[in-house]
Amino acid sequence: MSYSYPRKDHEKIDNKDTSIHVSSSYSDNKLLLSTNTSDSSSQEKQIANQHIIGSCFWSTFIFLINFISSILVINLSKWIYVKHHFPNLTLTTINFFISFFLLLLCLQAKLFTYVRLPILNMIPVSICFGGFIAFSNLSLQYNTVGTYQLIKLQVTPTVMLISWLFFKAHYTIPIVLSFIPVLVGTLISTCYDLQFNMFGLFCALISISFTAIYQILVEHYQKVYNCDALQLLFYQAPLSGLLLLFVVPFFEPISSLKKFMNYDTIMLILLCGIIAFFVNISIFWVIGNLSAVAYNMIGHSKTLLIILVGSTLFHESFNQQQIFGLSFTMFGVFIYSYFKYIRKITK
């Protein structure tokens, strides 16, 4: 009995030492775990930062491709028409088949997946696609670059009008009113164009109609067939080219092409087709990966730069009335972008 209490005290001391040892071991494990966790989290942050940097670099690269190729393809096409007098519809047809060939290469590289779509149902959208490209090029051939670009801005209000008439779409009053300066400015600039061409204006108006219907059909087809724009373009490009092949001989005899069979012209035509392809590819990527605001700002800045480059390259002078019309049109475009996208985001 005399040793019972010291024994208990000894047991308490042993238990205390054991608990201290366990606690110390637990703390060490916890510290090691937290160190490992912090190391892994820092590695994850580094990987995330690398992905962000890579994504920013890739976005900037695609943005530059879209920006530069859009400016190049318009001015290069105009150069081929004006300086080499190459037939318009023939160039459009060649561009369609070049795009299809490059799409085949993209399909082999697995940049997009093949989707089986009904061929007959693709004919209406292919007609509109071919129509808007062909008449846009005719508008570019007979109009100045400035007039061509400003008239193209009427596509959006035309789409809105068709959607309102046939699909019961509704738009806010500020968005509708923003197109008044767009329309008025374009009319002023076109009427005071020193190189005004009635046939060019007619082609531009037909192009607007085809483009508006084409955009509505593309949106409808993508929803119905659950496909993206590239998968749809894979069918549109060859079908539009084949449809134009039946039309071209009536307006541009094949026999007249012999005089264009020289190295410079052929290289320019191939280059034009390749650049046009990059315009389409980059547009689809920009729409899919950047915000609507960014895409619209790219479009507006391209419009101004294309007009500036075109007027300088082809010596298309601007008078005061045209400068006012251009400024008034761009004012309306920026007002539309504000109410359509920026204000919606801030809300």
pLDDT at 37: 53
Do 93 and 254 contact (CB within 8 A), yes or no? no
Tens of pLDDT, residue by residue over 15-68, are 444 444 444 454 555 444 455 555 556 666 565 555 555 556 666 677 778 778
Tens of pLDDT, residue by residue over 138-187, are 998 888 888 888 888 888 888 888 888 887 888 888 888 888 888 888 88
Task: Check pLDDT > 70 for residue 199.
Answer: yes
Task: Check pLDDT > 90 for residue 243.
Answer: yes
pLDDT at 76: 92
Task: Check pLDDT > 90 for residue 319.
Answer: no
Q: How would you write the chain as a 3-class SS string? A: CCCHHHHHHHHHHHHHHHHHHHHHHHHHHHHHHHHHHHHHHHHHHHHHHHHHHHHHHHHHHHHHHHHHHHHHHHHHHHHHHHHCCCCHHHHHHHHHHHHHHHHHHHHHCCCCCCCCCCHHHHHHHHHHHHHHHHHHHHHHHHCCHHHHHHHHCCHHHHHHHHHHHHCCCCCCHHHHHHHHHHHHHHHHHHHCCCCCCHHHHHHHHHHHHHHHHHHHHHHHHHHHHCCCHHHHHHHHHHHHHHHHHHHHHHHCCHHHHHHHCCHHHHHHHHHHHHHHHHHHHHHHHHHHHCCHHHHHHHHHHHHHHHHHHHHHHCCCCCCHHHHHHHHHHHHHHHHHHHHHHHHHHHC
